[in-house]
Chain A
């Protein structure tokens, strides 16, 4: 059904259509609309789920862990301080191989208090074992949140998935999007290690180094295998519903000499900057990274790279820039922009390309 609504509403509808059995939630700006909408669907009967209002984000993830451990589909949503408050439970859910799906509205962490868009919250949860996807439109938010359940629950993956939306910029914008007929796309959950009261066993018990090591390796194996699963699910989605996604979204890259790389809404707005630069005779292109974990293989050989981070790893650099340096062996011009919802326009993005230096770093609005 074609409609118009906010990014938050798109996520809530995707969750409705995925039919989770348990949703545990605690409200936080700017994701609150997601769990409010879901609460409405449960109340009006359009969703047959158990909705558990909890007292904190640590508890919302704990409730999802308990529910997912019984083998049922679960969902929660959070943002910023809520996300980092559930940090311990993020490690727990990935370690226990529970395919929980969560939406995170990317928002700055205080102090100073700020509710604007920033990706430092989810990127600081980089090493928890969660898959992470960054979306750029309400349509992509709906489609990806819906697909996320099939990816997380796949027998080769069995890891939780976090869908990230830029706070306010995407959570609160009203855009057209289309929901799908969900029937048959998501197979029933089949968690091989689900708690079975007829066969009691230990769960999360003490493990020695050797076993622990194997569990860690198994998480990494699931993460590596998830690349093929993501592509398989995105292909199945495209085949049935016509909208195609990939690990990254490339724009005018074929003959590009300089490539802009970013995630989230900046990754969409930068396409307009590419058009402006092309008109000036600059052979520019852009690569929007959708899946950050697992990190995609990107061939940047022979290209100049400008990367925009709406985040920062203090004492090192922009997180995305760091990943690209390590994974692709490039020396990008690293731009730090948009922290705390700082306004960044397509003209600004075009200007980043004009002032690029190999291996340089530029703090937008701070550096002259």
Chain B
């Protein structure tokens, strides 16, 4: 089982990103679940979502304690939240940031999703839309196929810029 913990801020689309990611894995023929962690969230507050991917039905409902991958949609969260808590020794970190970020002891990928969203004028209620370009970056990491990523996005959002953003992130992320 591959376990992903997604850190974002309320309003950034983290919960939707988790669903689209699970959908893309499902299209790849995997069993996948996405769970938002509900609490006293409000706009701008740090929130967490969990995604599990496996070849067999997933029987676990509790939170992910030892993720294989940690995704950070807003790098400023790292100042207040220990995003690497429980991260497996060979665990990987993916951060949305304009500057390269290094997480000690872990392979860390950085991609500027915010600039990608802004370059396509993808803004909702004042927030750049980060979830669809994120799916492209995750496809580049090989966790989901590029085809399923694009299909999952296209079937969830009618605006074509979402697929364009995912393609851009796929191209920009250096592996």
Assembly CA distance A345 to B59 (angstroms): 11
Q: Is the CB of A174 within 8 A of B60?
A: no
Q: Which residues of A335-359 have CB atoms within 8 Å of chain B's CB atoms?
A: 343-346
Option from B33, B38, B62 in Cβ contact (under 8 Å) with A175: B33
Q: Is the CB of A172 within 8 A of B60?
A: no
Smallest CB–CB gap between A42 and chain B, Å?
A: 22
Interface size class of B (residues with CB under 8 A): 20 to 34
Smallest CB–CB gap between B55 and chain A, Å?
A: 12
Interface string of B32-61 (1 = CB under 8 A from A): 111110100000000000000000011111
Q: Is the CB of B35 within 8 A of A172?
A: yes
Q: With a CB–CB cut-off of 8 A, which chain A residues contact B62?
A: 269, 343-346
From DSSP, what is the main secondary structure of chain B's interface residues?
A: mixed
Q: Is the CB of A173 within 8 A of B59?
A: no
Inter-chain contact total with CB atoms closer than 8 Å:
52
Q: Which residues of B1-59 have CB atoms within 8 Å of chain A's CB atoms?
A: 18-19, 22-23, 26, 31-36, 38, 57-59
Assembly CA distance A314 to B35 (angstroms): 32
Given the known A-B contacts A4-B22, A345-B65, are A174 and B59 also in contact in the complex, defined by CB atoms under 8 Å?
no
With an 8 Å Cβ cutoff, the count of chain A residues facing the other chain is 22
Q: With a CB–CB cut-off of 8 A, which chain B residues contact A176?
A: 26, 31-32
**Contact residues of B with A, CB < 8 Å?**
18-19, 22-23, 26, 31-36, 38, 57-63, 65
Sample of 24 A–B contacts (CB below 8 Å)? A4-B22, A4-B23, A4-B26, A4-B32, A115-B38, A137-B57, A166-B61, A168-B38, A172-B35, A172-B36, A173-B33, A173-B35, A173-B61, A174-B19, A174-B23, A174-B33, A175-B32, A176-B31, A269-B59, A269-B61, A269-B62, A343-B63, A345-B65, A346-B60
**Contact residues of A with B, CB < 8 Å?**
4, 115, 137, 166, 168-170, 172-176, 265-266, 268-269, 271-272, 343-346
